[in-house]
């Protein structure tokens, strides 16, 4: 997705219209696990008799049932348009230990959307990212970098906090977390689907730079995962090395 686009417009472009309901996954769930779940769900859909599949739900609560079998059962019954399936997944989610918690969350969300689509006769789209979201907002992780190396001053930290809070609030977005380390600031924020993401952070950086022009205009943004400060530093070093390599090759001939 280009940085000037938003997910709302992208959905409209792909489907030709906007569904009646957009369902955002709240939880932060690793994308590899999500891909594994939806691939299994696709394969399990319409396999076997629904009543027979529903009977297998009781095996979710048996200690002798393997984790892999429980995954298959959850993925299968999540595709059933039955309230009994929803209740079984819900009960399992409430009782299950951490290993299958996220898996059952995906199954519950899929089954809820299926039931709501049937009962309300509305088109539903399920939106899931690595960082999740809340309501009509997706969660984003953003990295802001100062021009000078070394620790950001207390004044610069206050400016960043104030200006980004104002900019996010202007766009009906929520600042969940702001951290500092050296010349880097990281932000976790909830942003509405319809909002142009680039505008928020470009405006905030521009406002911050009214007080000393101390931030780089470019920033890193992701809705896949949050990066540690060590990961950010490694990434920036890699980018610098790439630029040096390109420059060397460009002028070596």
Q: How far apart are CA 239 and CA 231, in angstroms?
A: 12
Claim to verify: residue 157 and residue 217 sit in the same structural domain: yes
| 29 C-beta neighbours (distance < 10 Å), count | 21
Claim to verify: residue 174 and residue 92 sit in the same structural domain: no
Tokens of 111: 């089954």
User: Is 101 among the domain residues?
Assistant: yes
Q: Which of 199, 204, 225 is nearest to 6 (CA)?
A: 199
Torsion over CA: 205, 208, 211, 212 (sign): negative
Cα-flanking dihedrals φ and ψ of residue 170, to 5°? -60, -35
Claim to verify: residue 187 and residue 98 sit in the same structural domain: no
Claim to verify: residue 182 and residue 216 sit in the same structural domain: yes
Q: How far apart are CA 131 and CA 210, in angstroms?
A: 32
* Residues 6 or more apart in contact with residue 138 via CB below 8 angstroms: 7, 24, 127, 129, 131, 132, 190, 191, 193, 223
User: Is 204 among the domain residues?
Assistant: yes
| 217 C-beta neighbours (distance < 10 Å), count | 12
User: Is 240 among the domain residues?
Assistant: no
Claim to verify: residue 163 and residue 103 sit in the same structural domain: no
Please report how many Cα atoms fall inside a 13 Å half-sphere around the Cα of residue 94, on the Cβ side. Answer: 6
Total residues belonging to the chain:
253
User: Is 1 among the domain residues?
Assistant: no
Q: Which of 165, 187, 166 is nearest to 178 (CA)?
A: 187
Q: Which of 96, 127, 158 is the last residue of a domain?
A: 127
- Per the CB < 8 A criterion, the answer to whether 51 and 77 are in contact is no
> Average pLDDT per run of 10 along the chain, which is 253 residues long?
53 53 77 90 78 88 93 93 93 85 92 81 72 88 93 96 96 96 95 87 96 94 91 85 47 45
| 169 C-beta neighbours (distance < 10 Å), count | 11
Q: How far apart are CA 80 and CA 87, in angstroms?
A: 12
Tokens of 201: 């952070």
- Per the CB < 8 A criterion, the answer to whether 47 and 80 are in contact is no
Q: How far apart are CA 110 and CA 151, in angstroms?
A: 45
* Residues 6 or more apart in contact with residue 69 via CB below 8 angstroms: 59
Q: How far apart are CA 44 and CA 78, in angstroms?
A: 10
Q: Name the residue range of residue 174's domain.
A: 133-225
Instruction: Tell me the CATH number at 171.
Output: 3.30.70.1290
Strand partners, 22: 125
Claim to verify: residue 35 and residue 123 sit in the same structural domain: yes
Claim to verify: residue 78 and residue 158 sit in the same structural domain: no
User: Is 178 among the domain residues?
Assistant: yes
Q: How far apart are CA 226 and CA 238, in angstroms?
A: 18
Claim to verify: residue 123 and residue 50 sit in the same structural domain: yes
* Residues 6 or more apart in contact with residue 236 via CB below 8 angstroms: 145
User: Is 234 among the domain residues?
Assistant: no
User: Is 22 among the domain residues?
Assistant: no
User: Is 247 among the domain residues?
Assistant: no
What pLDDT sits at residue 253?
44
Claim to verify: residue 114 and residue 157 sit in the same structural domain: no
Q: Which of 75, 104, 127 is the last residue of a domain?
A: 127
Claim to verify: residue 45 and residue 106 sit in the same structural domain: yes
What pLDDT sits at residue 42?
86
Claim to verify: residue 106 and residue 81 sit in the same structural domain: yes
Q: Which of 127, 144, 161 is the last residue of a domain?
A: 127
What pLDDT sits at residue 251?
45
Claim to verify: residue 143 and residue 213 sit in the same structural domain: yes
Please count the structural domains in the chain.
2
């Amino acid at each position: 997705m280009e940085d000037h686009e938003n997910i709302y417009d992208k959905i409209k472009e792909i489907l030709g219209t906007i569904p009646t309901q957009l369902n955002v996954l709240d939880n932060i769930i690793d994308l590899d696990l999500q891909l594994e779940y939806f691939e299994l769900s696709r394969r399990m859909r319409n396999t076997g008799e629904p009543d027979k599949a529903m009977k297998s739900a009781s095996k979710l609560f048996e200690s002798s049932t393997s984790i892999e079998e429980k995954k298959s059962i959850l993925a299968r019954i999540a595709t059933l348009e039955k309230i009994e399936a929803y209740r079984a997944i819900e009960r399992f989610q409430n009782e299950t230990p951490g290993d299958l918690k996220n898996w059952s969350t995906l199954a519950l969300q899929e089954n809820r959307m299926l039931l709501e689509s049937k009962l309300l006769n509305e088109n539903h789209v399920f939106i899931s990212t690595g960082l999740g979201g809340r309501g009509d907002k997706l969660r984003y992780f953003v990295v802001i970098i100062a021009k000078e190396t070394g620790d950001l001053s207390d004044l610069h930290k206050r400016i960043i906090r104030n200006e980004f809070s104002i900019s996010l609030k202007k766009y009906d977005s929520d600042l969940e977390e702001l951290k500092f380390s050296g010349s880097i600031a990281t932000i976790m924020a909830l942003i509405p689907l319809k909002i142009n993401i680039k505008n928020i952070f470009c405006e905030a950086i521009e406002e911050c730079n009214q007080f000393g022009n101390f931030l780089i205009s470019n920033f890193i943004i992701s809705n896949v995962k949050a990066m540690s400060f060590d990961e950010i530093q490694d990434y920036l070093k890699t980018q610098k090395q790439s630029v040096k390599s390109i420059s060397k090759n460009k002028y070596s001939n």
